[in-house]
Each structure stands twice: as C-alpha cells, then as structure tokens.
Amino acid sequence: MPATTILSDITITDMTSFVFGPYCTQTLADMGANVIKVETEKGDIMRIAGKPANTRKMGPHHMTFSRGKRSVVFDLKEDWGKEAIRRLIKNSDIFIHNALPAGMKRKGLGFEDVRSIKKDIVYVECVGFGTDGPYAGRPAFDDIIQGYSGMASLLPRLDGNERPRFLPMLLADKVSGLHAVHATLAALRQRDKTGEAQHVEVPMLECSTSFLLQDHFDEAVFDPPTGSFGFTRSFDTTLQPMKTKDGWMMIAPYTDDRWIKTFQVLGAPHELEDEQLNDRKKRYYNKEYMHERVQIYLEKETTDHWLKAFDAAKIPVGRINDLEALRRDPHLVATKFFQRREHPTEGAFWEMQPPVRFHNSEEKEINPAPLLGQHTAEVLDELGLDPPPQKD
C-alpha cells in the first residue's frame, strides 16, 4: 500500500506542530501533496519526542508524522523570512496551522492576511475549541480534550473503578487530524467550484465529542431519552478477550445460531443441555455464564488451534496482538504494511504504508522524514529568493 500521486498538483504551507496538524498533513503528503513544513530554528517539538537513532531532533515520532514532507526554517521576525512565507503562500493551495488564532493574526498570518496574499487559498486552522464558544482561544492538548469530551470517563463505566483515566493513545489528536483531512479536501473541492478562498476551522473538542457520541449518545439521543448515554454493547464485560492455552483471542458469535455452533466447535454440544443454556432466551439472558463455560474449553488448546477451528466454522474470530507482535501478523506481513527502509542519515527504520489504496492512481515511494531545515535553500530557490543571510 504505497503512497499515491493523487494530490501531486497541490502545494501546502504547513505551519503545524505536535500531532493534530502534522497527522493531517502527513496523510495529505501520503496522497502526493507537496507539503512544505515551515519550522523555527528549534523545530517542531515532536522532533525531540522519543530517542533518536543518530541525529538530535530526528526522533521516532518525527520519522512518522513528517514523512513525505520538506522542511524549511524561516525566521518570520526577519524581512527575508517574511518575504519567504509570503512567496510560499502565493504558490500554495492550502495554508494550515494549529497555533492559537490570535497568535497567527499577530504574525500577520490570520485568514484575511493570507487571503490578501492568495485570493483562493484554502485556510485551515486546527484549534482546541470552536471560536464561538467560551473556551475559544484556550490552548489544548490530547489529555485536555480527552477530559472535556468524555473520553476519560469510558474506562470507569467498564470496570467500575470510579477514577477517570485517559485512553492510552493520542486519540483526540489523531481523530481531529483525520477530521482536518476530510475538511481540507472538501474545502479544496469548494475552492475549485467557486474560485474563492475557503476558511476552515477544525476544533478538537467538537471533533472528539462527535467521534465519541456516534455510538455513545445511544438512547439519550431522544428527548425525552428512552435510556441512558453509553452504547451497552461496548460496556458488556462479557465481550472481552478470552484466554487460550498460550495467549488471548476474541470470538464474536453474536447470533444465537453461531453460539450453538460455537459449542460444537469446542467439542461440547452437551453444554447446551444445561438448564441455563437450553433455549434461545436463556442463552441471551445468561451470556455471562455462557462465556464462563466457553472459557473453560478455550484454555485447553492454543490460539492457533482455535483460530483455524472457528474460522472453518465461519464464526468471526481474531488473535489479540500486543504491539510487539504486529510486525509478525501474517496478514500485515502479506500486505507488506510494514516496510524496512534506510534513511539517509538515521539508518534503518520501519515505515507503515498508507492504509488506504487508490487502485487507479499512480503509486510512489514515500520520501523519508527531513532533517531540520533540510530543504530551506531548495525551496527558496524555487520561490526565486536568495538563501537566508548568514548569522554573525
């Protein structure tokens, strides 16, 4: 699943940092866009997250979030830097940032400022909170948004431990980044239809809350509500990984006929004679007990044994992989999802291939993540500008 050239005619001035914005522009770069990452002399803070292999500011997160991009260092306090950013905007289709809007206006890079430079620019601002609410203008990070959006309340609903906990990934950042991708592409479409500039606001709280409540609004969606918030199936403690002789797996026999077949696969059809399991209604209301009976048999054989057996019976089944096992997963190996590549300065590294494939578009290899300012002179030359003056 290599990158595509589908957006090869699109140039992006990328002034994002951390995860929210960079995940958006990484995805657009995977689609072939010419993404020019504008950095300060210190560089995006994600450059120093994690331990690098060889070079300072070439950390592991940067290797993923900045792949396919070019890096320039423009000093926006100096005249040459101001002219460089103006020229770059003039030659861009998209301008995107995830700084506070007030700060961008102070730099002369608010929407109206940028539109005065490029009349049909697609201006995308990735913010923490919608600009018409009381939280507008506040800084936001993933954990802040997980708290506000209700994400941190999910695990207590599942396990009864009342302490709120963050989901152990940058979920709010990444979900919001994907919202920014489709919003940017929609705005490009509108720009092409109208010839006019587009101003797009992508707020983390609203994106994350929308994502969460697609299922967890549940019966509270009605007024008056017919029940409570929280999709019951997601909080069903019986729908959890099950232990085998040598690991963990998940089976999903969600219909009654598949539950009957499950006990046949287990070699235990006699379990269905149990008074608690001997008809459809009892099996439905005694799911916890039924899972306990299934668990007894699963622990007698290996995960591989059960994967083959349930798959042959056409009952949905899957292995529970840990992070370290993902590169060995036979499906991901077969699809070449992980590619071992050589970086010009950092040596060998693992690259995930884009998860979406455009079958009718030309494919291309992804350029590796850039060194800080690696392409400054190159981009300035393309813009018809001299290299930046040497500092004393």
Q: Is the pLDDT of residue 2 over 80?
A: no
Q: Express the helix, strand and coil content of the chain in percent, nearest 5 each.
A: 45, 15, 40
Note the pLDDT of residue 391.
77
Note the pLDDT of residue 238.
87
3 state DSSP class of 163: coil
Q: Is the pLDDT of residue 1 over 60?
A: no
Model confidence band, residue 225 (pLDDT cutoffs 50, 70, 90): very high
Strands 34-39 and 11-15: parallel
Residue 335 corresponds to which tokens in the numbers above? 């699809």
Q: Is the pLDDT of residue 333 over 70?
A: yes
Cα–Cα nearest to 65, from 168, 174, 159, 196: 174
What is the sign, positive or negative, of the torsion defined by CA atoms of 306, 307, 308, 309?
Answer: positive
Q: What is the residue-averaged pLDDT of the chain?
A: 97
Residue 266 corresponds to which tokens in the numbers above? 């287990």
pLDDT tens per residue across span 63-74: 999 999 999 999
Alpha helices in 40-130 (DSSP H): 60-65, 79-90, 101-106, 111-117
Note the pLDDT of residue 85.
98
Distance CA 191, CA 336 (A): 36
Q: Is the pLDDT of residue 392 over 80?
A: no
Q: Which of 76-80, 237-241, 277-281, 327-331 has the lowest mean pLDDT?
A: 237-241
- Matching residue, tokens 């010009």: 344
Residue 240 corresponds to which tokens in the numbers above? 């959890």
Distance CA 81, CA 103 (A): 17
Structural domains of the chain in order of their starting residue, each with its CATH number: 11-212+339-383 (3.40.50.10540), 242-319 (3.30.1540.10)
Cβ neighbours of 309 (radius 10 Å):
16
Model confidence band, residue 270 (pLDDT cutoffs 50, 70, 90): very high
% of residues, the chain, pLDDT over 90: 97
pTM given for the model? 0.95
Distance CA 301, CA 298 (A): 6
Q: Is the distance from CB of 281 to CB of 265 less than 8 angstroms?
A: no
% of residues, the chain, pLDDT over 70: 99
3 state DSSP class of 11: strand
pLDDT tens per residue across span 118-170: 999 999 999 999 999 999 999 999 999 999 999 999 999 999 999 999 999 99
**Amino acid (one-letter) located at 108:** G
Distance CA 261, CA 328 (A): 30
Model confidence band, residue 389 (pLDDT cutoffs 50, 70, 90): confident
Residue 272 corresponds to which tokens in the numbers above? 């269905």
Average pLDDT for residues 346-362, to the nearest whole number?
A: 96
Model confidence band, residue 240 (pLDDT cutoffs 50, 70, 90): very high
Strands 34-39 and 69-73: parallel
Average pLDDT for residues 206-211, to the nearest whole number?
A: 98
Beta bridge partners of 363: 4
The backbone torsions φ and ψ at residue 198, rounded to the nearest 5 degrees and listed phi first, read: -125, 135
**Amino acid (one-letter) located at 39:** E
Contacts of 319 (CB under 8 A, 6+ apart): 247, 248, 249, 303, 307, 329
Exposure on the CB side of residue 128, measured as CA atoms within 13 A: 19
Average pLDDT for residues 321-347, to the nearest whole number?
A: 97
